[in-house]
Structure 1
């Protein structure tokens, strides 16, 4: 199975989880921007930043306004679990925008598919000529019996796993797994309209955004929103890890053997099952990973800091780079999932980030959308 996953190029997707191992004058801002967690920057001119929602713009249904502000994007000093690709934190300014209160649900995605007839990447026939471009030259073509539409699904192990770097121990390539059958062909989303839609690739999320008149958030926007106006803490609620079970759907117990369900759920939870952050956003930690529009580049933070420039509305790296998977073209995912535990991943932290291949879909990855004032007034 592991050889098969590698042959299909899906190992490129799994490798992204390896990151689960690894006083100056503030910027003058327009009225309404908090000075907390101020950005060290050398500028003389005022920074034009949209902070408050214009009175003429109505909040779209199911969204909330995220006040524009300044942000230290990336690892906070007290976060002992922070990884190198989250460091050093970068100084950013972000205009205000609207964000979905919850992750896009099965019901919402179902409406999109019903209207457009869209077929997700996990449901499409596999094109070997296209797929082999993503794997090392000379990779042998798998048998046609396994080159069938499907996706990755999670399985618990029967005993303790000494090597948490071998992801094939708990991930299966499952033919017939897709958004309608997230755990395989025998699973269903019947009665689960208010659960987050999963098995969604980056391409799938982008097509939904196009239909809805929205877009994916940038990583900077996502972090600004996740913090809920509270800068400088490890989690959206503060620094107290003991509150995790009350705040987010994560893995409680020994991963990947037993989930004690201390937080109430073993796998995915319905949206709004846990308290929102200060902006009224649900599941900005745990439940399912969320796509952003940024390329995943392990050197991004270091490169930005070497320039010494404050980033306004940054869109991330100009190109992808994953050193242990040079064939990968990955986008940043944020927020962690129900599989995150202290021993594996711990990506319920605000600054946590990983990369995922754009054509990959998994049972713990979904998305939410954003809209800007100009998108709503054009």
Structure 2
């Protein structure tokens, strides 16, 4: 009996464990609700990718979200603006540029425009920064007009003279270039060399939305390593473009919201233990001052700013912040999220429309003011063909309805127009009782006034506080304002999981359902 049990029980356990392991392993390949296999060309060909590892796009750092008191770091409102009173909000996890966008980054953008649209002088001109922002009647800043953007000595300095509108155009361009590069690297599109040498070059540049809609295909475009097409009726070995469901393409780059920017700048993750914020911050670093308190760097400035009037860099032989104007985007120490220059160097544009009383009407989850709801225009609605502009980008039109339209409404222009009437697609000034006729008479704030934050090389220490906020028209620029990009994070918001306990079931689920083996 002992001998039998000695052999039988381990064998039985091995049999069950093996069966369960295979069963659990196969769960990723079948529908848990119908039992039908995924990725099977004989039963419909539905392709579900269970092996996607989401990660940031180039240049980005992950910012684990959470709750914080927006405006809470501002301990003294010396301007008496009362425009960022304390309120608790939650910011979803997202990605953010490690550094400000530099002159080299912008020159890459200009070079691409010139290469792809050499005859379109207007497009290139509109993308140029306004280098005349350096001119002041009583200052000799003329060398910066010609040298700051293009001289190699300034290539790693933040680009300035950029309007909010130009910053958004850059984000759109960057999204397409990053996704195009991913597809060429993976072989879903032809590689760069083949593209350059091909006689059948595409008439328009790559655009993410157009590609996902199946309108960027053909000779000179399709790569040899496109995904297999398991759609029934297709011939064996057929290939298809990458889909959003494949988890290959990145989300759009964009400007961060004001709440995201303030949250990321504070970097409270470094002051948190067991779900409690142990100490607050006034700046992106610990302490009440603007100089380092550490032994090896004691007394050094923590940011590039203007300590007092007439002092932009200190005394020769021992410059206080090392910069007369801007400095390299990787100067000084990063904050606890790993972000450089979230205080000083240049102010940074954010997405939000400015209102002094933003704190009075806000959502407590991902607060943002400035929504303008747009849809892609269809050239042929029945076939789902998106209309493109002369640069190969989808044409955007005002959203027609607050909900998904019926098929009849979508096909009928008259029905669409009737649905549009009660719907306000432009809610930048949502809930504001604004008289636009008074703009320029009693107020300088309107729906094109955008927030910028962070302080600059020419600002006093007060503006280094992440809770301070100012505004400028979205078509204006100056020598003290630049920007950095952000990206929405998809999937689980948790990043720092090792520092906290978790339920065994959750760990097992993350490993593909192997929690069943725990019963033994």
Tell me how many residue pairs correspond in the alignment: 269
**2:305 matches 1:250:** yes
Shift of 1:212: 1.1
Distance 1:186 1:350, change over 3 A: closer
TM-score (normalised: structure 2): 0.47
Distance 1:154 1:234, change over 3 A: farther
SS in 1 for 2:471: strand
5+ residue gaps in structure 1?
1-53, 125-148, 158-169, 305-309
Matches for 1:336-347 after TM superposition, within 5 Å? 336-342=455-461, 346-347=462-463
1:332 equivalenced with 2:451 (yes/no): yes
Q: 1:254 to 1:358 in 2, by over 3 A?
A: same
Which residue, 357, 368, 371 being the options, matches 2:484? 368
Structure 1's 227 and 114: CA in aligned 2 closer, same or farther, altered over 3 A? same
CA distance in 2, matches of 1:353, 1:122: 26
Q: Is the 8 A contact 1:73 1:89 kept in 2?
A: yes
Q: Distance in 2 between matches of 1:95 and 1:56?
A: 19
In structure 2, how many angstroms separate the alpha carbons of the residues matched to 1:65 and 1:56?
Answer: 14
Deviation at 1:258, TM superposition (A): 5.7
Which whole-Å deviations, capped at 9, do the CAs of 1:2-42 have from their partners, x for residues lacking one? xxxxxxxxxxxxxxxxxxxxxxxxxxxxxxxxxxxxxxxxx
TM-score (norm 1): 0.63
CA distance in 2, matches of 1:64, 1:340: 27
Larger radius of gyration: 2
- What is the CA deviation profile of residues 37-73 of structure 1, one whole-angstrom value per residue up to 9, with x for unaligned ones? xxxxxxxxxxxxxxxxx98212322211000101111
User: What is the aligned partner in structure 2 of residue 316 from structure 1?
Assistant: 369
Distance 1:211 1:80 in 2: 38
Whole-Å separation in 2 of the counterparts to 1:151 and 1:86: 31
- The aligned residue for residue 153 of structure 1 is 134
Residue 193 (structure 1) shift = 1.6
Q: C-alpha separation between the residues in 2 aligned to 1:361 and 1:234?
A: 27
C-alpha change, 1:69 and 1:259, in structure 2 (3 Å) is same
- Choose which of 258, 262, 277 in structure 2 pairs with 1:219: 258
User: How do residues 1-378 of structure 1 correspond to structure 2 at under 5 angstroms?
Assistant: 56-76=53-73, 78-79=75-76, 81=78, 83-117=80-114, 118-119=123-124, 121=126, 123=128, 151-153=132-134, 155=136, 183-185=144-146, 188-191=149-152, 192-213=154-175, 214-229=253-268, 230=271, 232-243=280-291, 246-255=301-310, 259-260=313-314, 261-304=319-362, 311-316=364-369, 318-319=427-428, 324-326=443-445, 329-342=448-461, 346-374=462-490
Alignment CA distance shift 1:373-1:328 (3 Å): closer
Instruction: Give the Cα separation in 2 of the matches to 1:120 and 1:204.
Output: 11
How far 1:331 sits from its partner (Å)?
Answer: 0.6
Instruction: Give the Å deviation of 1:358.
Output: 0.7
**For the structure 1 residues 313 and 189, does the alpha-carbon distance in structure 2 shift closer, same or farther, using more than 3 Å as the test?**
same
- Where does structure 2 lack aligned partners over 5 or more consecutive residues? 1-50, 115-122, 176-252, 272-276, 293-299, 371-426, 492-520
